[in-house]
Amino acid sequence: MGLLKGKVAIITGAGGGLGEAYAKLFAKEGAAVVVNDLGSTLDGSGTSAAAENVVSEIIATGGRAVANGDDVSTPAGGENILRTAIDAFGQIDILVCNAGILRDRTFANISEEDWDVVVKVHLKGTYCCTLPVWRWLRSNARPGVIIMTSSTSGLFGNFGQANYGAAKAGIYGFIRVLSMEGRKYGIRVMGVAPNAITRMWADVPGFQDGDPDPILSPENVAPGVLFMASELAADHSGKVLAVSGEEIAEIKMLTSAGFHPKGNYTAEEVAAHASSVFFPADLKRLPMKT
């Protein structure tokens, strides 16, 4: 029996790359899948038959899937994506917000258009797709799972990606808040920060230098996302996992030991307690507990 038998999943941006890998694995594990995809190019322009092609491959292997070509970044698009799931399969259990674009520039060279469209697709797109699903789950007293895509570019920073990083950091806050609001409704919310070589790597220096490392394929991210969507992760919500073929690890915001002045204090006192206020500069990750 598959981990998602009897479930219905929406996966946005599933016409290729990570979304395609998720859709095919979810279908293999028993889910009926709505394969959403709009853009055929990295910057979000153009359209293609990518979603239909993925659906055809899923059906050819005995799975259930339908295509949807709506724009994730509009409220109407989000509503239509949900309607596709309800019309085709009668329910929704899992939403994976994966759709995204890139318009990388150093901050001084980012146009307002490039800022707005990246935030619109990633952050607003996650909102537009999540809201109708959230309301449907609540109205039907049905538990569900919503998985949002953050990024190490937003959680740690990455040169030349101020627009993308800001959107992905915003998604982290969205995950944390909705995980709290979803508790009493049985709605789990998790985040994935994937590391895989997809078409988004096409302009990264060195990408064309030799064959990409197969360990960083989208197919090696998909099992981690399947874990989050399944009952195997029933005890987890509000958490973000970095996922690749090399590592699966939780990423979280932490507070240092801190300086506790108990009232009035001076800037000089803050400086004197810098070793408590700041984490050690060489701290790469939390020590493992044994």
Q: Which amino acids are annotated catalytic?
A: 164
Report H helices in 151-199. 152-155, 162-181
Enter the DSSP assignment of 211.
P
Q: How far is CA 65 from CA 30, 42, 236, in A?
A: 11, 24, 27
Strand, coil or helix: what is 107?
A: helix
Radius of gyration of the chain (CA): 20
Task: Tell me which H or E stretch contains 26.
Answer: helix 17-28
Which candidate, 6, 76, 11, 80, places its Cα nearest to that of 218?
Answer: 11
Q: How far is CA 280 from CA 152, 276, 284, in A?
A: 20, 9, 9
- CA of residue 20 relative to chain centroid, distance: 14
Pairing mode, strands 144-149 and 187-194: parallel
Q: How far is CA 41 from CA 13, 17, 107, 124, 200, in A?
A: 12, 12, 22, 19, 10
Both tokens of residue 42?
């990295």
Q: How far is CA 102 from CA 121, 186, 247, in A?
A: 10, 34, 24
Strand, coil or helix: what is 13?
A: coil
Instruction: Say if CB 43 and CB 116 are below 8 A apart.
Output: no
